[in-house]
Amino acid sequence: MEILSDLKWRGAINQLTDEAGMEELLGAKQVGLYAGIDPTADSMHIGHLIPFMILKRFQLAGHKPVIVIGGGTGSIGDPSGRNSERVLQTMDQVMHNESALTGQMVHLFGTENFRVVNNRDWLGKIGMLDFLRDYGKLFSVNTMLAKDVVASRLEVGISYTEFTYQILQSVDFLHLFREEDVQIQVGGADQWGNITAGTDLIHRLEGSEAKAYGLTIPLMLKADGTKFGKSAGGAVWLDAAKTSPYEFYQFWYNQADADVVKYLKYFTFLSHEEIAALETAVATDPGKREAQRRLAQEVTAFVHSPAAVEEAERISAALFSGDVQELTASEIEQGFANMPDFALTAEPKNIVDFIVDAGVDKSKRQAREDVENGAIRINGEQIKDLEAIVDPTAMYDGKFVIVRRGKKKYFLGRVNG
């Protein structure tokens, strides 16, 4: 299927600057296209992932994505999506973030038919007088004020620095058009004003027939109208050190039936037929959560690896069954990250004292009762002997003790020293 038609079917197009012209271009040649990300953090979260899924689809269709790391624009701040000025970072932090984001992009896109560039490499060479003379004269303040990205900030105020962001982003598009044969810019819905400013600049300097186009993506909302991309713990990061692969997998697995088909269309590379079959499964047997499981598998494999999917599903199965003996210390760290935890020493202790000291039970009377009734499991093993001794270093590299009370209540003991 032609790629724009596929994107429409997936609900991934908000606006196009010239649909007919873009279709003709994409049908005639390999096309360069780009999206940018400013290095405001050392990892993307899943909200950032949205435009880059579009670029990946173009890459799979034979086109050439270029990722712009905004070392230049990121040092001044993008006004979109916020009601206040961005707090500027040190250049050391910006450069650290650039390196981390570049690594993530290479992981997602590979090294074939793909480029990562940094706009500081060209923006940093433009002097103030050249900027004002060569570019500032080509932008009308009236037009800039009318752009949504600026207009939304006028009541609370916007600095000249952030006001000029759309000029710098336009210069990015012009540079990439000239130097990288990039003809399409992709961005979120809030980037429409910046993108059209770029196409206008190209047409002004390269001629009205220059083939430069823009594509924006709809704001991603859940079925209840709230913004997509947050979990109970905050942002869902692509960096495994910030959001573990298990937590990442669980985020997708826990999506509502009302949202899962939309996310399958947007965040996976499954065919229309495969998604239609999963949509039927949601309607006929939602309890199996077949669509959610496939969504979690596909996105986790793309962002992390197939091995990360296997690990996440092994942790999930162990927690559901209570059979945690075979989990590794690393898997314990992931699977129990958000469960109640307590600190303990490596010293062996009587089971009753251990349970009370851990806060699993409030009194020794309750602890004895739970042990005798078989309600307590230590590292997956049921303990019914009131004289049993718990050795905190017996499993999981001597780092953890897993206590389970009843069928579902887990506690994680972390061994100090």
pLDDT in tens, 309-327: 999 999 988 888 778 888 8
CATH superfamily, domain 230-321, is: Tyrosyl-Transfer RNA Synthetase (1.10.240.10)
Binding residues for L-tyrosine are 34, 165, 169
**Does domain 3-217 sit in CATH 3.90.25.10?**
no
- Give me the CATH topology for the region 341-415: 3.10.290
CA distance 338 to 397: 20
The 10s digit of each residue's pLDDT in 233-279 is 678 999 999 999 999 999 999 999 999 999 999 999 999 999 999 99
Check residue 275 and report its DSSP letter.
H
Q: What is the model's pLDDT at position 47?
A: 87
Burial (CB < 10 A; 0-12, 13-18, 19+), residue 163, is middle
Query: CATH 3.40.50.620 residue ranges in the chain?
Result: 3-217
Q: What is the model's pLDDT at position 318?
A: 85
Is residue 164 very low, low, confident or very high in pLDDT (cuts 50, 70, 90)? Answer: confident
Q: What is the model's pLDDT at position 409?
A: 87
The backbone region for 77, taken as left when phi is positive above 0, alpha when psi lies in -120 to 50, beta otherwise, is: left
Query: CATH 3.10.290.10 residue ranges in the chain?
Result: 341-415
- The answer to whether the beta carbons of residues 380 and 402 sit under 8 Å apart is yes
Binding residues for ATP are 230
Binding residues are 34, 165, 169, 230
